[in-house]
């Protein structure tokens, strides 16, 4: 399901955060419709862009690395497209949970590794959140922003 208001808000907030106009806390508080799996996945992935312990803007030592900007631009193109999110469910807020891994004698990380392998095999991760290069190219050919067309 595509929830256009959520995707538009998230796309705008990503641009605002990367540009240093809003803080990480402002971005983190952004509410999106949980039924839109694509918006949820992009927001989870964006969580890795910032430190969520202290409030800051993406400037100076907290600036988003130049190498990530083209990836983030692709996320924004996805958010502004009418492309359904086709990747399998997988939380992209990747945290190594060593206590749980220790308690389960390695089973937890092994399970996580198998789920990640299935996730990666589902599509072309180089164009994530698009599932493949063809859907990414289609979205690039039909932009919603800066076209001069309203709606």
pLDDT digits (tens, 9 = 90+) for 71-126: 999 999 999 999 999 999 877 766 656 576 566 676 667 677 788 888 888 899 99
Provide mean pLDDT across the span 38-52.
91
Cα–Cα distance, 98 to 83 (Å, whole number)? 36
Report pLDDT for 142.
85
Per DSSP, helices labelled H in 2-132 are: 4-18, 24-28, 37-46, 66-79, 98-103, 107-121
Chain position carrying tokens 């309203």: 150
Q: Which residue has the higher pLDDT, 24 or 147?
A: 24
Report pLDDT for 100.
62
Contact 16/46 with Cβ under 8 angstroms?
A: no
| Domain ranges across the chain | 4-87+123-141
Q: What does the buried/exposed string (b/e) look like for 37-75 if buried means 16 or more CB atoms within 10 Å of the residue's CB? A: bbbbbbbebbbebbeeeeebbbeeeeebeeeeeeebebb
Residue of 21, 23, 41, 45 lying closest to 33 (CA atoms): 41
Burial tier of 91 (Cβ tally within 10 Å: 0-12, 13-18, 19+): middle
Name the pTM for this structure. 0.82
**What percent of the chain stands above pLDDT 90?**
65
CA distances from 42 to 77, 98, 129 (A): 11, 25, 7
Backbone angle region of 106, left / alpha / beta, with phi > 0 → left and psi within -120 to 50 → alpha: left
Q: What confidence tens digit (pLDDT) does each residue in 4-34 have?
A: 999 999 999 999 999 999 999 999 999 999 9
């Amino acid at each position: 399901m595509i929830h256009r208001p959520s995707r538009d808000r998230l796309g705008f907030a990503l641009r605002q955060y990367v540009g240093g106009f809003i803080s990480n806390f402002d971005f983190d508080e952004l509410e999106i419709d949980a039924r839109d799996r694509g918006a949820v996945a992009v927001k989870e992935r964006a969580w890795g862009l910032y430190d969520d312990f202290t409030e800051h803007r993406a400037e100076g030592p907290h600036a988003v690395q130049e190498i990530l900007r083209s990836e983030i631009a692709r996320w924004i193109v996805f958010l502004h497209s009418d492309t359904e999110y086709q990747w399998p469910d997988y939380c992209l807020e990747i945290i190594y949970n060593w206590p749980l891994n220790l308690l389960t004698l390695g089973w937890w990380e092994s399970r996580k590794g198998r789920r990640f392998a299935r996730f990666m095999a589902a599509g072309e991760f180089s164009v994530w959140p698009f599932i493949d290069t063809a859907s990414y190219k289609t979205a690039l050919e039909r932009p919603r922003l800066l076209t001069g067309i309203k709606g």
